[in-house]
A and B are shown apart, each in its own frame.
Chain A
Amino acid sequence: MKITVKLIGPFVQLFGFGEKELDVPEGTTADDLVALVGIDRSRPKIVTRNGRAVVPGEKLADGDRVVISPIYSGG
């Protein structure tokens, strides 16, 4: 299934892209996707799926837009 991944803030420079489409197997979770991008699981971050925060183990669906962002604290 095709998932659009968008990185936010310094993740763009640290992981080398801003937004791209990935082809992933059925059953892929948001956590799997984060690992696929190469972001350390222990790194504080917020992951949203179609604008809403994901819960642990949440499975993705074809056409989803997943945004991975550092934890911002509002300046």
Chain B
Amino acid sequence: MNGWTGHFLRVNLTSKTYKKEPFSEEFARKWIGGRGFAVKILYDELAPGIDPLGPDNKFIVALGPIAGIPAPNTGKAVVAGKSPSTGGYGDGNLGTRVAEHLRKAGYDVLIVEGKAASPTMLYIEDDKVEFLPADAVWGKGTYETNDWIYAKYGKAVGVLNIGQAGENLVRYAVVRSLEGRAGGRTGMGAVMGSKLLKAIVVKGTRPIPQADPAGMKKVGTDDLREVHAIDKKTGWSIQSTNGVLAWCNEVAALPVRNFRKTHHADAWKCDGERLNNARIATYGCPNCTMRCGITIHDEEGRESELDYENVGLLGPNLEIFDLPPIGSLNYLCDDYGVDTMSGGCVLSFYADAVDRGAAPGDIRFGDSAGFKKLLTSIALRQGEIGNLLAEGSMRAAQKFGHGSIDYAMQVKGLEVAAYNCKFIPGMALAFGVSPIGAHHKESWVITFELKQSVRESYGPEKAQKVVDLQRIRGGLFEFIVSCRFPWIENGWPLEHYAKYFKLVSGLDWTLDDFWTVADRIYALIKLFWLREYPGTDRKLDYPPAVWFDPKNVDTEGPIAGKHLEFDKYDGLLQHYYDIRGYDRRGIPTKATLERLGVAAEGRAAEKFGPLT
């Protein structure tokens, strides 16, 4: 079977056993890899209702047909499991050498089951798997853990590890790699921690099966050079993702003060230009052509790697505008293994709740020293507030009461990324219908809304655009497993990915073939949610209530007096369901499941909610 290694590696931490399991070509073609493999395995193997932080959950590392093969930005892996933050399907991707090494070891998927008796590091080298003690780094941050691993094995191996946040089951703990990369903001670090799994180290030495390895090598090498040359011409990497901060500020889309405001006069202090000026180094993932990781010195003089999401949510969202303190908060998140986006939203939620008298405490917006202490108390689960905030903003709001859930900036339990949708209907929809909870990874439509549509519109064109982007961003790039940046930021045509797929697999697919797989994956994720939330309905796809609140409007600026309108949002949501072939509850219909080849999976979910 070219294009895939054709095997899973299944490891059980309880019994310290492992098995190399073949999978069929039919399975490979139906789910392709990455997110597709992950959701199918989790759907088939997890009993509904299991504790995501218990031994019955599974931690998955899933790769795709071009993952790890030299071509533009292919050094990525998907990590997945039942999410501790949402209770639904959870995943994320991160740049890591594991992508290449796991495939060279002979596996497209690693499935980790059970729970170790003591802190453990998995070492995988081709057919060998070792269960090694990790007591020496249990309780240590991700940087020290990484150094400890590099000292043993060198820097060329693939590494995934967690910090104290994962160990302490912070529900938005991430998995870390390569010192600067993080993934799995749906709490995949906590899933590792719940299994006492501190790190995974992989070394693979064998060739990855490909239909035309010489052709792939030539095309991949040429394209690596070409995308890099395009980036030099466009200049995207000069400011990297943080270039968007100034634009968000101009168009009233920046999160400021827990999303209460959409722009701020001091935002320029932490924009892309200032970040570029403060740059001390630049980092990227394996096979990267347009490195996005810009590091600066934080307040303590440490090297901290920033991008837009963490600047936006740990900066203006907390009313902090200077880069060094933002860098400090970011460093703490990275070292503890806390997701910077959820971390920023949880901190801002708590400050907002204190400000509104809904929660005890003395934290204030702009208090970077206070936020640093708070972040530490969350990662280490110290004290009543730290322990509560480690549960995420939704659960903290349920505890605080006083209507605070309305301004807990989350959907399905996952905090929103750094786009303030107070008056951006399509992006609010994108957050609402993201299959893992609020995340910008699946669909990002703001520029479409402002350029190709009308900001005020709740029309079907926006729902269609959300679907189109989901197919590409949450579909293709998550199952073929590659970074989307060459396409979205530098215009690298999607047809190249069909070309790569053909070179590795021999299969001559069109982009429409890929969209069918993407739709299949989204439908199965919906069924996963239905099983976990019996009787689920469209309320799961509503964004934070504060965006609909007339009392929350801007008093000046481009969207003064504007807010989302609930009935119109509900209509936009219905457009989305209609395009997708879902019913009014947001569940794929029987006809849709049949068309996508997942009717059997639908029947398995039917006892949790009738299918129409």
Chain A residues in contact with chain B, CB under 8 A? 6, 8-14, 18, 44, 46, 48, 50-53, 67, 69-75
Contact = CB atoms under 8 A, between A and B. Distances in A.
Interface stretch (B37-45, B235-243, B390-398, B525-533): B235-243
B270 interface: no
B489 interface: yes
Interface in B210-241: 234-236, 238-239, 241
B559 A51 contact: yes
B244 A75 contact: yes
B228 to A, nearest CB: 15
Nearest to B450: A53
Nearest to B440: A74
From DSSP, what is the main secondary structure of chain B's interface residues?
helix
Chain B CB within 10 Å, residue with most, of A11, A46, A67, A75: A75
A41 B444 CA distance: 24
B556 to A, nearest CB: 11
A6 B450 contact: no
Contacts of A50: 558
A70 B236 CA distance: 9
Which of A10, A12, A74 counts the most chain B CB atoms within 10 A? A74
B247 A8 contact: yes
B444 A74 contact: yes
Contact of B250 (A14, A18, A44, A67): A67
Contact of A48 (B235, B250, B444, B559): B250
B551 interface: no
B558 A52 contact: yes
Interface in B384-426: 417, 419
Given A10-B243, A52-B558, A74 B491 contact: no
Contact of A52 (B238, B246, B417, B455): B455
Contacts of B243: 8-10, 70, 72
Given A51-B250, A74-B244, A12 B273 contact: yes
B49 interface: no
B447 interface: yes
B447 A9 contact: no
Given A46-B450, A52-B558, A74-B446, A10 B250 contact: no
A74 B470 CA distance: 13
Interface string B434-474: 00000010001011001100010000000000000000000
B244 A72 contact: yes
A7 B252 CA distance: 16
B247 A9 contact: yes
Interface of B: 234-236, 238-239, 241, 243-244, 246-247, 250-252, 272-273, 276, 292, 307-309, 417, 419, 440, 444, 446-447, 450-451, 455, 485, 488-489, 491, 557-559
Given A8-B250, A9-B272, A46-B450, 9 more contacts: A8-B272, A9-B243, A9-B244, A11-B235, A48-B250, A70-B234, A73-B444, A73-B489, A74-B444
A70 B488 CA distance: 11
Contacts of A9: 235-236, 238-239, 243-244, 246-247, 272
B174 to A, nearest CB: 16
Contact of A69 (B247, B273, B491): B247
A74 B234 CA distance: 16
Nearest to B484: A73
B440 A75 contact: yes
A19 B251 CA distance: 16
B557 A51 contact: yes
B273 A46 contact: no
5 contacts: A9-B243, A10-B238, A51-B557, A53-B450, A74-B488
A6 B272 CA distance: 13
A12 B273 CA distance: 8
A2 B239 CA distance: 28
Nearest to B237: A10
Nearest to A13: B238
Nearest to B262: A51
B236 A53 contact: no
A51 B235 contact: no
A69 B253 CA distance: 14
Contacts of A74: 244, 417, 419, 440, 444, 446, 488
B447 A10 contact: no
B284 to A, nearest CB: 14
Nearest to A50: B558
A18 to B, nearest CB: 6
B447 A46 contact: yes
Contacts of B238: 9-10, 12-13
Nearest to B307: A75
A48 B488 contact: no
A51 B447 contact: no
Contact of B235 (A10, A52, A69): A10
Nearest to A6: B250
A13 B417 CA distance: 27
A6 B238 CA distance: 17
B247 A67 contact: yes
Given A50-B558, A51-B559, A72-B247, A13 B447 contact: no
Contact of B447 (A6, A12, A67, A73): A73
B236 A51 contact: no
